[in-house]
Amino acid sequence: MLRYLTAGESHGETLTGILEGFPAGVPVTAAHIATQLKRRRLAPGRGPRQAHEADAFAVTAGLHKGMTTGAPIAVNISNSRPLQKLPFSEVPRPGHADLAGMIKYGVLNSALIRERASARETAARVALGTFALRLHALLGIRFSSRVISLGANTALTGKIISAALAAARRRGDTLGGVFELRVNGLPAGLGACSQGAARLGARLAAALFAINSVKGFEVGGGFALAAAGGRQAAQNPGLSGGLDGGMTNGAPLILRCAVKPVPGLRAGALSTNLKTFKQALVISKTSDTTAVFAAAVIAEHAAALELAGALLEKFGGDSLDEIKPRVAQWRRQTGKVLSRL
Ligand code: EPS
């Protein structure tokens, strides 16, 4: 079974990720990981925090001479300026995890909640996801993502994106958006229809909803399918988004997620002090203007980890050399049917 865990706080010493059950013989270099971390860190819409984060990292286990060994993989990512002293605040930031977490854990200090709830943690997920992306790439499975809307803008060009972000920044406001994730080359038959939890759509939804700020999830035709006729829906394979009955059907996998606007506002947002119950203004100086571009990158990695798990369940194998011919044989076998449809 492929599984992973992360630990670490937004302003702690390091973020740590552990990936277990990953096969041996997959070449992964520091450059592969650095490239993916940079895509996440420098995605459009980032705030001032990213100017001083470098995401310096070390793979401390599971990799020998640039090749995975089959042992658990451990990655540590440094925070460039860890806090010496955690600030104390009795005021939860509206729209963040602060209030729910303060109530859940019975603490009056919102910093104890936001330090772990912060999207900084997704750097560890991206580092681990890079291993999964490498496995997929070597099996001919390709991931890509793009942002298809930013705030109310749907016809996105570089100019429109820069102008929308600059205008939001001037207003002290933030923007949400929608990203689309596409996976080409997945073998048919990953996932299962035998139990609800085994359905790949359910697993992918869980993986993508686990990304901070994701509030909506669609597969293929998604919400628009509700208004389509059955004939139109059944006879347009593109609308399935690559999944039927919780299994891949050989078509490209197409997923979309809605990402809410970052709730931390430079212009300030009204909240309540949980000790005095007096109104308080919370100003978030370092907030990102939008998280949607970074979330798209994170989603590639979160989905790659989930799909690597599904792939290993179907094909087994402790090393890439063992898995590769099995996937090739399966592609030949299923291709005989799929190519005639
Ligand atoms: C985040 C708030 C901002 C973001 C942070 C996520 O950081 P700060 O705590 O400095 O205001 O920059 O994202 C990252 C640091 C990162 O690497 O993604 C939040 O509240 O989720």
Confidence of residue 235 (pLDDT cuts 50, 70, 90): confident
Side chain identity, residue 60: T
Side chain identity, residue 246: G
Predicted pLDDT at 140: 98
- 3-state SS class at 82: coil
Alpha-carbon distance of 185 to 249, in angstroms, equals: 11
Alpha-carbon distance of 300 to 162, in angstroms, equals: 23
Give the number of the atom of ligand 1 that is nearest the alpha carbon of residue 117.
21
For the sheet containing 142-150, what is the strand order?
142-150, 177-184, 253-259, 214-219
Cα–ligand 1 centroid distance for 18 (angstroms)? 22
Instruction: Kindly list the structural domains of the chain, giving each domain's residue range(s) and its CATH number in brackets, ordered by start.
Output: 87-338 (3.60.150.10)
Q: 102 CB contacts (<8 Å, ≥6 apart)?
A: 92, 108, 109, 110, 113, 274
What backbone phi and psi angles, to 5 degrees, belong to 275? -95, -45
* ∠ Cα 113 111 177 (to 5°): 65
Nearest to 141 by CA among 275, 277, 304: 304
Cα–ligand 1 centroid distance for 291 (angstroms)? 10
Alpha-carbon distance of 57 to 16, in angstroms, equals: 10
Alpha-carbon distance of 89 to 70, in angstroms, equals: 44
Checking if the pLDDT of 229 tops 80, the result is yes
The count of other CB atoms within 10 Å of the CB of residue 52 is: 9
Which residue's alpha carbon is at the smallest distance from atom 6 of ligand 1?
119
Cα–ligand 1 centroid distance for 122 (angstroms)? 10
Predicted pLDDT at 89: 95
Alpha-carbon distance of 90 to 277, in angstroms, equals: 10
Predicted pLDDT at 231: 84
Checking if the pLDDT of 66 tops 90, the result is yes
Alpha-carbon distance of 214 to 199, in angstroms, equals: 20
What backbone phi and psi angles, to 5 degrees, belong to 96? -95, -175
Place of tokens 């809307």: 149
pLDDT digits (tens, 9 = 90+) for 299-324: 999 999 999 999 999 999 999 999 99
pLDDT digits (tens, 9 = 90+) for 78-123: 999 899 999 999 999 999 999 999 999 999 999 999 999 999 999 9
Which residue's alpha carbon is at the smallest distance from atom 13 of ligand 1?
120
Predicted pLDDT at 233: 80
Residues whose beta carbon lies within 6 Å of some atom of ligand 1:
10, 47, 49, 53, 114, 118-120, 122-123, 212, 264, 286-288
Which residue's alpha carbon is at the smallest distance from atom 8 of ligand 1?
286
